[in-house]
Structure 1
Amino acid sequence: MAKNKGARIIITLECPCKNNNRTNQENNKRKKGIFRYTTSKNKRNNPSRLEIKKFCPYCNCHEMFKEIK
């Protein structure tokens, strides 16, 4: 029998920049859009929204990715 996952849920992390006002020459070569990561968290240990610093290939820098609904 399979065990149930318990308190772990799958969440989506989204870059807040959304390519707004990026003027570097390298960024002009990048495609536009919204980049998202998926991960899991324990909702008992972390009931609030999660924020993790990750690399965004669209804005070509490390940004604070925030959990979305």
Structure 2
Amino acid sequence: MARETVTIECTEARKEGKSPSRYMTSRNKKLKPEKIEIKKYNPFLRRHTVHREIK
């Protein structure tokens, strides 16, 4: 199976001392071996922020 489920977390929320938002998504390990970065909505900050893959 080439697809794996990953968790992405907001990168800006911890700097501001707020709770980070987390999303579950999937990626293809063979085509995207590096960690993914996606802009998603953070309801605690009320704006779109960069979310990076965590382990």
TM-score (normalised: structure 2): 0.88
| Structure ranking higher in helix proportion | 1
User: Residue 57 of structure 1 is aligned with which of 34, 43, 48?
Assistant: 43
| Count of aligned pairs | 54
Q: Which runs of 5+ in 2 are unaligned?
A: none
Q: Which runs of 4+ in 1 moved over 2 A?
A: none
> Counting strand residues as a fraction of each chain, which structure ranks higher?
2
How many angstroms does 1:42 deviate by?
0.4
Q: What's the TM-score once normalised by structure 1's chain length? A: 0.71
| Root-mean-square deviation (Å) | 1.4
Aligned to 1:17: 12
Q: How many angstroms apart in 1 are the aligned matches of 2:32 and 2:11?
A: 21
**Aligned sequence identity (%):** 41
